[in-house]
Amino acid sequence: MMNQLILGDCLEVLKKLDSESVDLIYLDPPFFSNRNYEVIWGDKGEVRSFEDRWSGGVEHYISWLKERVEQMHRVLKPTGSIFLHCDWHANAYIRVFVLDKVFSPQNFRNEIIWKRADTIKGNFGQNKKTFDSNADTLFFYTKNGDYTFEELYKPYSEKYLENFYKHTEPETGRIYRLISMIGPGGAAKGNPFYEVMGISRYWRYSEAKMKVLIEKGFVIQTRKGAVPQRKQYLDEGKGVALQSIWDDISALSATSKERIGYPTQKPESLLERIIQCVTREGDSVLDPFIGGGTTVAVADRLNRQWIGIDSSVAAIKVTEMRLQKKQTDIFAKPFSVQLHKYDYDTLRYKDAFEFEKFIVQQFGGISNAKQRGDLGLDGKTQDGIPIQVKRSDAIGRNVIDNFQSACKRYWGIQSRDFELQNKTYGIIIAFSFGKGAIEEVARLKNQDGVIIELKKVDEIIPIEKKPVLALKFNDLGLDAKNQREIEFIATAESNSGIEFFNWDFHYLAEKGFQADIMLDKGGKQSQKFKAGTYVIAVKVVDNDGLENIEVMTLKINGVVSSH
């Protein structure tokens, strides 16, 4: 059930996840602000959600969020943590009315302030009477008092080094600071009392350990009569334990390589820090508002299992492409994408066993654990009626006859006194059924009272045609550097409407589609090429998340030709 991208309102999806099944939830919900900077993708799923939470002001937003956070609390393991990312618009309400209520104030761990940037492009006008707002809030809560936590460190600042690490060992060049060896709490805490370099005190170390430290040259007396101190080398220090103000991670710049093209994308280093702090390898991470996929991209890289949910098709598809692009090596971990519609080709050419299992489960039945066995049947209903799934169209008479024999054996094993009359003998699921099959089913019923039900795949799951796509090019001629500029125009049609186009200008079939440009709404791109052969691929995504790909090979050598 892990490594999944799921399209849908996270409330509905969360309800279907098992209780106490994830180690970390990071959520960056849509803020409570106004439409101008809140609607990111603009597709149906996202806009519907926007209208859902905006209509009644902040109270409405809070109850919208609380309902979802309650589900998150349920799916979190007893040792798990949650990080809720928000900003000044609603952070006060969220802490008091959502997190304290659902997780309880005892389980509040930190309010982290993430300083996004040093400079703000903003209002420098004469009427400006507020401070620039350059921070987000991350609320860290846990489910209980016992939770995974790995202390993280950041490098010492210049100022810190200047103030503390003032000494250099002449013989080695190692930089060190001096730290106190006085035993805190004196005799009451059991510290030993003895003399070191003429100074008697309660010390932190036993006399034997002190002797070793002195022999190694770690103990220094800066002048006669001063209390001896111990050297702490800079190259042995871990850095400064991370505090609750995070000012060392910048928001993504407009030109960052990580950017996939929308405003609220969070930097990978932020997620890296959170995931490393409260999970271990193999643990699971859930992001119910996955957006551009930052959380799952990082979780995957850090060998955590993951689930990402979003109500926007664009978000799910962009995340899918981002993962495909990252996962180019042979160790890539497989993942699945759950949309609301399925396209015929993808289903039909899926692995046969996977397909049978999936259809039986979607039908509400119990699938066979193994591919072979159970008399060639693929599963059964909750009431024990056998099911066979066929990945083909226009099923013929012989399939019905073979199935009837399999059912006969099945019922013989299950119970000797099976009542034929008015009871379903078995169910066959296929894309469509031929005339022969339909006649045979009728004959069996009339002659022998054997009832075999025929179900079409599209009665169980919604099937749609994938979008139709065409790709053309125009030669725009040579530029001053003798490079040829080519304009590419993709046109597409789909019942649900076209969402966006993605381009791979160095397509290699064995590597799969690796988007160079994502989220192109218009389907038009131009690129410059030197003489050579190029394989260009364009992928279209429609409003159901179904996709199609078109590949063109261009030969550029004085003239341009394609095939």
* Binder of ligand SAM out of 49, 284, 367, 502 (CB under 6 A): 49
Stretch that binds ligand SAM, among 39-47, 151-159, 359-367, 480-488 (CB under 6 A): 39-47
- The stretch among 196-204, 303-311, 403-411, 507-515 that binds ligand SAM (CB under 6 A) is 303-311
Q: Does 10 engage in binding with ligand SAM (CB under 6 A)?
A: yes
Rounded Cα distance, 153 and 435, in Å: 71
CB 42 within 8 A of CB 374: no
Q: Considering only the stretches 89-97, 307-315, 341-349, 440-448, report the one whose residues sit in contact with ligand SAM under the rule CB under 6 A.
A: 307-315
Chosen residue from 61, 176, 289, 411 binding ligand SAM by CB under 6 A: 289
Tell me the closest approach of the beta carbon of residue 336 to ligand SAM, in angstroms. 18
Residue closer to ligand SAM (CB basis): 87 or 247: 87
Residue closer to ligand SAM by CB (options 47, 220) is 47
The yes or no reply on residue 40 touching ligand SAM (CB under 6 A) is: yes
Show the CA angle centred on residue 329, arms to residues 516 and 551, nearest 5°: 40
CB 365 within 8 A of CB 381: yes
Least Cβ distance, residue 244 to ligand SAM (angstroms): 20
> Among residues 41 and 342, whose Cβ is nearest to ligand SAM?
41
Alpha-carbon span 563 to 561, nearest angstrom = 7
500 part of the interface to ligand SAM, by CB under 6 A: no
User: Which DSSP letter does residue 182 get?
Assistant: B
| Structure tokens, 378 | 């693929």
State yes or no: residue 320 binds ligand SAM (CB under 6 A).
Answer: no
Member of 305, 311, 368, 543 binding ligand SAM (CB under 6 A): 311
Q: Which residue is nearest to ligand SAM (CB)?
A: 291
For residue 466, the 8-state DSSP code is P
Least distance CB 26 / ligand SAM (angstroms): 8
- Where do runs of H (alpha helix) occur along 221-351? 268-278, 294-301, 313-326, 344-348
CB of 134 to ligand SAM, least distance (A): 17
Q: What token pair was written down for 499?
A: 């969402």
**Burial environment of residue 297 by CB neighbours within 10 A (0 to 12, 13 to 18, 19 or more):** buried
- The CB-of-312 to ligand SAM minimum distance in angstroms stands at 4
Q: Which of 315, 359, 492, 537 binds ligand SAM (CB under 6 A)?
A: 315
CA distance 329 to 323: 12
Nearest residue (CB) to ligand SAM, 41 versus 335? 41
Tokens of 230: 């111990």
Q: Residue 292, interface with ligand SAM (CB under 6 A)?
A: yes
| Residues, the chain | 563
- CB nearer ligand SAM, residue 46 or residue 504: 46
- Specify the residue, 228 or 293, whose C-beta has the smaller distance to ligand SAM: 293
Which of 17, 23, 25, 46 touches ligand SAM by CB under 6 A?
Answer: 46
**Residue/partner pairs of 93-101 with CB below 8 Å, 24 or more apart:** 93/32, 93/58, 93/61, 93/62, 94/62, 94/65, 94/139, 95/139, 97/62, 97/66, 98/62, 98/65, 98/66, 98/69, 99/69, 99/139, 99/141, 101/66
The closest alpha carbon to 319, from 290, 289, 288, 345, belongs to: 290
CA distance 293 to 272: 13
Distance separating alpha carbons of residues 542 and 548, to the nearest angstrom: 9
> 218-257 mask for ligand SAM (x: CB under 6 A)?
----------------------------------------
Judged by CB under 6 A, the residue of 4, 81, 265, 527 near ligand SAM is: 265
Beta carbon of residue 214, minimum distance to ligand SAM (angstroms, whole number): 54
Interface of this chain with ligand SAM, residues 163 to 182, rule: CB under 6 A: none
CB nearer ligand SAM, residue 10 or residue 112: 10
- Could you give phi then psi for residue 438, rounded to 5 degrees? -65, -40
Which is closer to ligand SAM, CB of 33 or CB of 191? Answer: 33
- Per rule CB under 6 A, is residue 305 in the interface with ligand SAM? no
| Residue 232, H or E segment | strand 229-233
Query: Smallest distance from the beta carbon of 556 to ligand SAM, in angstroms?
Result: 37
Closest to ligand SAM by CB, 291 vs 467, is 291
The DSSP line for 125-177 is: STT--S----EEEEEEEESSS-------EEPPPHHHHHHH--EE-TTT--EEE
Nearer to ligand SAM, 292 or 523 (CB): 292
DSSP classification of residue 250? P
Which of 95, 177, 266, 380 is the binder for ligand SAM (CB under 6 A)? 266
Task: Considering the complex, state which of residue 289 and residue 433 has its C-beta at the smaller distance from ligand SAM.
Answer: 289
Q: CB-based contacts of 59: which residues, under 8 Å, 6+ apart?
A: none
What is the rounded distance in angstroms from the CA atom of residue 388 to the CA atom of residue 427?
6
Verify binding: residue 494, ligand SAM, rule CB under 6 A: no
Among the listed ranges 55-63, 160-168, 283-291, 368-376, the one in contact with ligand SAM (CB under 6 A) is 283-291
Backbone angles phi, psi at 90, to 5 degrees: -140, 10
Please state the closest distance from residue 42 (CB atom) to ligand SAM, in A: 10
CA distance 532 to 552: 14
* CB closer to ligand SAM, 32 vs 488: 32
Closer CB to ligand SAM, 292 or 426, in the complex: 292
For 359, other C-beta atoms within 10 Å of its C-beta total 25
Span from 75-83, 263-271, 339-347, 398-406 in contact with ligand SAM (CB under 6 A): 263-271
CB atoms within 10 A of CB 104: 13
CA-based angle 77:241:284, to the nearest 5?
Answer: 20
Asked if residue 310 binds ligand SAM (CB under 6 A), the reply is: yes
CA 337 – CA 547 distance, rounded (Å): 13
C-alpha to C-alpha distance for 56 and 61, rounded to whole angstroms:
7
> Which residues here bind ligand SAM, judged by CB under 6 A?
9-10, 28, 30, 40-41, 46, 49, 264-266, 288-289, 291-292, 294, 309-312, 315
